[in-house]
Amino acid sequence: MKLHLTVNGAATALEAEPRTHLADLLRDQLLLTGTHIGCEHGVCGACTVELDGAPARSCLMHAGSCDGATVRTIEGLVDDPVMALLCEAFSAEHALQCGYCTPGMLMTARDIVLRLPEADEDRVREELAGNLCRCTGYRGIVRALLAVLASRRRPGSGDPDSPLSGCLA
Amino acid sequence: MKPAPFDYTRPRDWSAALAALAAGARPTAGGQSLGPMLNLRLAMPETIADLRHLPGFGVIDQQRDCVRIGAGTTHARIEDGAVPGQVGAILARIARNIAYRAVRNRGTLGGSLSHADPAADWVTVLPAFPGHAIALGPEGERRIPLGCFVTGVFAVALQETELLQAVELPMLPEGTRFGHWKFCRKPGEFSKASACVLALPGSAPRAVLAALDQRPLVIDDAAALLAAPEAEAARIVEGLRLADPWREALARVALRNAAQEAA
Ligand SMILES: Cc1cc2nc3c(=O)[nH]c(=O)nc-3n(C[C@H](O)[C@H](O)[C@H](O)COP(=O)(O)OP(=O)(O)OC[C@H]3O[C@@H](n4cnc5c(N)ncnc54)[C@H](O)[C@@H]3O)c2cc1C
Ligand code: FES
Ligand code: FES
C-alpha cells in the first residue's frame, strides 16, 4: 500500500506492506535508526516515538494504521530545547551505558517534563516504568529527570533555552 | 516477531465497518492488544478494519443523567479528565494505572473491554457500574448490561457481526462510595489480583473480583462484604477454590481492601 507520513516535519510518501510496523518503516525505509526495537510487543519502550503529538509504541502501529500520521523521532528533536536539557543531564548523571534504551527513554522523559512539571521522584519512577534499561539500574536516569524538572521550576528559568548549568550540583 | 500478511481497510462510517466485519475483517482500535498478538502471530487475520476514523468513535457525550463514552476513547484522555463528574474522577484514577502512558495514548476503553483480558482494568471496574455497553450490529443498537458483558476469559457478549460502539454510565449521585485495589509487582503490568466496590446511595453495593482464570466475579449485592470485609472476602474467595494459595491470598486481600475503602 501507499502511505503518507509527516516525519520530523517533512511530508513523506512510502510504499509498504500493511503489516510493516512503524519502527521498521522508520529504520529500514527512512534510515532513521535512532528508534530502537527491543521486544516488539509494547513492553520495553525502546521504540517509543511521538505519534500525532504524544508518545506511542512504534512497534505496535502497523503501516495501515499510521497512514496520514505525524511522527517525530529522536532525530527530529535535535533542536528541541527540552531535549537539549535532557541530553546534558543524561550525560552528567551517567543515565546511559550501552545506549540501547536511550532514545525511547528520552522520548518518555521529554513527555514527563512537559506533561508533569511537578513530578516528584515517585512519580518519575512510576512514569518511567514503561521503559526498560538493562544497564544503569535507573538511578542516573531518575536523577537526570529530576534535575531537568527542578531547573525548569526554578524562578527565572521560564526561558526554556536557559542553560542547565548549575542545576546538577 | 513480524505479523503474517494482512489487508488493511479504514471504514469511514459504521455501516461500512459492519460490512467489513460481516466479510470477516478483524476490527482494531488502538492496536495495543491486537498489535502484540499480530507481531507474535497469535492473531493472523486476513483483513484488519481500523475503527479509529469512524464518526463519534472517541466522543464523550454527557446527557442529563448519564455519560456516553465512545468506544474509541483512549485511556489517556480518561486519565486527563475528559469524563465529567465523580464517575470521571473514578475512571481517571483507574486509567492512570493502566499500562504506560505511551500505551494509554493509543489504547481504548472499548478495545480493552472487547478484548476482555481477565486482568484488564476496565474489565474489573466497569461491571460494577449500573450502566450499559452499546453494541451496534446489522439489526441496530443493542444495550448489554455491563455486569454481564464479559462472559469469559477473552470472551464477551458481542456477536461476531457486532461492534462495541460506546459505554453508557450513570452520573453518580452524591454520597456514592467507591473502592479499588489491585496488585502488580511492577507499575503498568497486568495485575495479579484486582477488585472494586461501587456503592450508590439507596441501592445494593456491587463488587467485582477479577484477574482470575475465569470471567470476573460480579457480586450484585455486596452489603455483607461492606459490613465485614475481612470475613466475607475470605468466604467469597474460598468458594472460588483457586488452585494457587498465593493467588488466593492476593484475591482475598484485593476484595477486602476494595471493600474497606468503600465502606
Ligand atoms: C505493554 C502493555 C501493557 C498493558 N498493560 C495493561 C494493564 O495493566 N491493564 C489493562 O487493562 N490493559 C493493559 N494493556 C492493554 C491495553 O489497555 C489495550 O489498550 C487494550 O487492551 C486494548 O485496547 P485497544 O484499543 O488497543 O484495542 P485493540 O488492540 O485494537 O483491539 C483489542 C481487541 O478488541 C477488538 N476490538 C477493538 N475495538 C473494538 C470495538 N469497538 N468493537 C468490537 N471489538 C473491538 C479487536 O478486534 C481485538 O480483538 C497493556 C498493553 C500493553 C501493550
Ligand atoms: S520494541 Fe516496541 S515496546 Fe519494545
Ligand atoms: S543504557 Fe543500556 S539498556 Fe539502558
pLDDT digits (tens, 9 = 90+) for A57-104: 999 999 999 999 999 999 999 999 999 999 999 999 999 999 999 999
Nearest-5° Cα angle at B168, B167 to B172? 130
Q: Which three cell numbers stand for residue A20?
A: 510493516
Question: Are A60 and A79 spatial neighbours (Cβ–Cβ below 8 Å)?
Answer: no
pLDDT digits (tens, 9 = 90+) for B150-174: 999 999 999 999 999 999 999 999 9
Judged by its nearest atom, the ligand closest to the C-alpha of residue A132 is 3
Q: Are strands B150-152 and B60-62 parallel, antiparallel or unpaired?
A: unpaired
- Mean pLDDT value of segment B108-132: 98
pLDDT digits (tens, 9 = 90+) for B200-226: 999 999 999 999 989 999 999 999 999
Q: What's the pLDDT score for residue A69?
A: 98
Chain B's closest residue to A52, CA to CA, is: B105
Provide the pLDDT confidence category of residue A159 given band limits of 50, 70 and 90.
low
Q: With beta carbons under 8 A apart, name residues in chain B contacting A69.
A: none
Query: What's the CATH number for B60-170?
Result: 3.30.465.10
Q: What's the pLDDT score for residue B13?
A: 97
What residues does each domain of chain A span? Answer: 2-76, 79-153
CA distance B53 to chain A (A): 10
CA distance A24 to chain B (A): 10
Q: According to CATH, where is 3.30.390.50 located in chain B?
A: 177-262
Q: Among partner residues A45, A62, A130, which is closest to B38 by beta-carbon distance?
A: A62
- Residue ranges of alpha helices (H) inside chain B are 14-22, 34-39, 75-79, 85-96, 101-104, 109-115, 121-125, 223-227, 229-240, 245-262
Q: Quick one: DSSP state of residue A104?
A: H
78-107 in chain A: CB under 8 A from chain B: none
Q: What is the ipTM of this complex?
A: 0.94
Q: What's the pLDDT score for residue A94?
A: 97
C-alpha–C-alpha distance, residues B120 and B125, integer Å? 9
**Where is pLDDT greater, at A157 or B108?**
B108
Q: Which three cell numbers stand for residue B182?
A: 489491585
CA dihedral (A142, A145, A151, A153) positive or negative:
negative
pLDDT digits (tens, 9 = 90+) for A113-153: 999 999 999 999 999 999 999 999 999 999 999 999 999 99
Q: Among partner residues B4, B31, B100, which is closest to A65 by beta-carbon distance?
A: B31
Residue A59 to residue B8, Cβ atoms within 8 A: no
Identify the CATH homologous superfamily for domain A79-153.
[2Fe-2S]-binding domain (1.10.150.120)
206-225 in chain B: CB under 8 A from chain A: none
Specify the amino acid at residue B66. Answer: C
22-51 in chain B: CB under 8 A from chain A: 28, 31-32, 35-36, 38-40, 48, 50
Mean per-residue pLDDT of chain A: 93
Query: B108 in ligand 1 pocket by Cβ < 6 Å?
Result: yes
Q: Which of B14, B34, B106, B162 has most ligand 1 atoms within 8 Å of CB, for mutation?
A: B34
Closest by CA position to B85, among listed B208, B169, B167, B203: B169
- Mean pLDDT value of segment A26-39: 98
Neighbour count for residue B214 (Cβ, 10 Å): 11
Residues paired with B43 in a beta bridge:
none
Residue A56 to residue B105, Cβ atoms within 8 A: yes
Class of domain B7-49: alpha beta
Q: With beta carbons under 8 A apart, name residues in chain A contacting B7.
A: 18
| pLDDT over threshold 90, residue A169 | no
| pLDDT over threshold 50, residue A35 | yes
Q: What's the pLDDT score for residue B216?
A: 96
* Chain B contact probe: residue of A40, A50, A59, A114 with most B CBs at under 10 A: A40
Q: What's the pLDDT score for residue B199?
A: 98
Q: What's the pLDDT score for residue A158?
A: 55
| pLDDT over threshold 50, residue A167 | no
Q: What's the pLDDT score for residue A155?
A: 79
- Mean pLDDT value of segment B42-66: 97
Q: B133 CB contacts (<8 Å, ≥6 apart)?
A: B113, B143, B144, B145, B146, B149, B157, B164, B166, B167, B168
CA distance A55 to chain B (A): 5
DSSP secondary structure letters along A42-88:
SSS-TTEEEETTEEEEGGG-BHHHHTT-EEE-GGGGTT-HHHHHHHH
| pLDDT over threshold 90, residue B116 | yes
Q: According to CATH, where is 3.30.465.10 located in chain B?
A: 60-170
| pLDDT over threshold 50, residue A110 | yes
> Residue A90 is inside which H or E element, if any?
helix A81-92
131-150 in chain A: CB under 8 A from chain B: 131
Query: What's the CATH number for B177-262?
Result: 3.30.390.50
Q: According to CATH, where is 3.30.43.10 located in chain B?
A: 7-49
Question: Are B190 and B183 spatial neighbours (Cβ–Cβ below 8 Å)?
Answer: no
- Mean pLDDT value of segment B23-51: 98
Mean per-residue pLDDT of chain B: 97
C-alpha–C-alpha distance, residues A46 and A43, integer Å? 9
C-alpha–C-alpha distance, residues B106 and B77, integer Å? 10
Query: What's the CATH number for A2-76?
Result: 3.10.20.30
